């Protein structure tokens, strides 16, 4: 293995609160990138030196050597940036599938999301921007929020609001010509989810893929009756078990192409394996907001 990230779902599995748990004793980590060291005599299509990722992702990437059947591995372009190859499957693929699987979006349409600074959020901004889809983004109130807004706008965000800015009756009056969103994404829950719902137009859909606030989603009766809103959920691991997932390797190639071209980027910190404990603390939020922690086994 060359590199593997620390994702929130990895922490949840260790805590025992994730719906799918590996049989213990187990090695952590669900995605990453490795270099082929050696192959069995019957293996075809792989050679030492090939760059590979587990596809679909599988347990146990937080270790220096892995031996698994060739069907687990997918060979990727050797020019792929290490940190993007290690993280391309979980967050960017989630962003891409959510943009495509729930509502048919055309150029000029709009979406809205909370948790816009997350990696999924950053990917949604960029993928939507590339397709000419307006994106409205909600971030939590924080010190330095103006700088955060500027960073997101540099990625392609059309509008960025803090939660307190949206404490008005008519949020759509803030949109300056952007159409009512047909699709919204929620990874926070609580009030932040309610703000997404306020932006959605009649017949709109909100997709929930996380719950960082650990607070429930509350929906007004009028939202169902008069706006006919739909609430859906997305879980990548479940999607991987569907027929749609057969083409995920082609999608990963397209996402890695965007990363190599600089058209898909997000903040990460490559951390030497010897600093694993510090990386875990950062991933747990013990040092405030931090970039995605990616363990580099070669440093």
Point out the residues that are catalytic.
18
Q: Is 84 helix (H, G, I), strand (E, B) or coil?
A: helix
Tell me the helix, strand and coil percentages in the chain, rounded to 5: 35, 20, 45
Q: How far apart are CA 119 and CA 181, in angstroms?
A: 21
Q: How far apart are CA 85 and CA 35, in angstroms?
A: 11
Q: How is residue 41 annotated by DSSP?
A: T
What are the C-alpha distances in Å from 256 to residues 141, 262, 263? 32, 10, 10
- Answer whether 93's CB lies under 8 Å from 252's CB: yes
Biggest CA-to-CA distance, the chain = 68
At 150, list the tokens: 């500027």
Q: How far apart are CA 231 and CA 162, in angstroms?
A: 23
- Rounded to a whole number of angstroms, the distance between the first and last alpha carbons of the chain is 12
Q: Which residues pair with 52 in a beta bridge?
A: 34, 75
Element (H or E) spanning 74, and its range?
strand 73-76
How do strand 230-233 and strand 205-208 relate by DSSP bridges?
Answer: parallel
What is the Cα 72 distance to its own chain's centre?
A: 22
Q: How far apart are CA 112 and CA 7, in angstroms?
A: 24
């Amino acid at each position: 293995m060359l590199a593997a990230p620390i994702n929130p779902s990895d922490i949840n599995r260790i805590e025992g609160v994730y719906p799918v748990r590996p049989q213990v004793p187990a090695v952590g980590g669900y995605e990453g990138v490795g270099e082929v060291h050696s192959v069995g005599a019957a293996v075809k299509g792989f050679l030492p030196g090939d760059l590979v990722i587990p596809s679909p992702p599988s347990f146990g990437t937080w270790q220096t050597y892995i031996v698994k059947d060739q069907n687990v591995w997918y060979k990727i372009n050797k020019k792929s940036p290490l940190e993007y190859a290690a993280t391309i499957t979980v967050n960017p693929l989630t962003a891409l599938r959510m943009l495509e699987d729930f509502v048919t979006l055309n150029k000029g349409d709009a979406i809205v999301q909370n948790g816009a600074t997350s990696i999924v959020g950053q990917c949604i901004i960029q993928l939507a921007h590339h397709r000419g889809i307006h994106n409205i983004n909600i971030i939590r109130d924080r010190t330095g929020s103006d700088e955060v807004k500027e960073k997101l706008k540099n990625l392609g965000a059309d509008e960025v609001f803090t939660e307190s800015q949206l404490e008005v009756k008519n949020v759509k009056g803030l949109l300056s010509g952007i159409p009512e969103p047909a699709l919204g994404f929620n990874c926070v829950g609580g009030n932040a989810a309610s703000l997404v719902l306020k932006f959605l137009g009649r017949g709109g859909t909100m997709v929930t893929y996380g719950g960082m606030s650990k607070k429930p989603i509350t929906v007004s009766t009028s939202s169902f009756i008069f706006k006919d809103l739909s609430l859906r959920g997305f879980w990548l691991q479940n999607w991987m078990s569907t027929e749609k997932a057969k083409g995920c390797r082609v999608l990963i190639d397209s996402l890695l192409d965007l990363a190599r071209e600089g058209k898909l980027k997000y903040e990460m910190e490559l951390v030497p394996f010897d600093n694993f404990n510090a990386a875990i603390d950062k991933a747990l939020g013990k040092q405030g907001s931090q970039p995605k922690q990616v363990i580099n086994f070669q440093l």
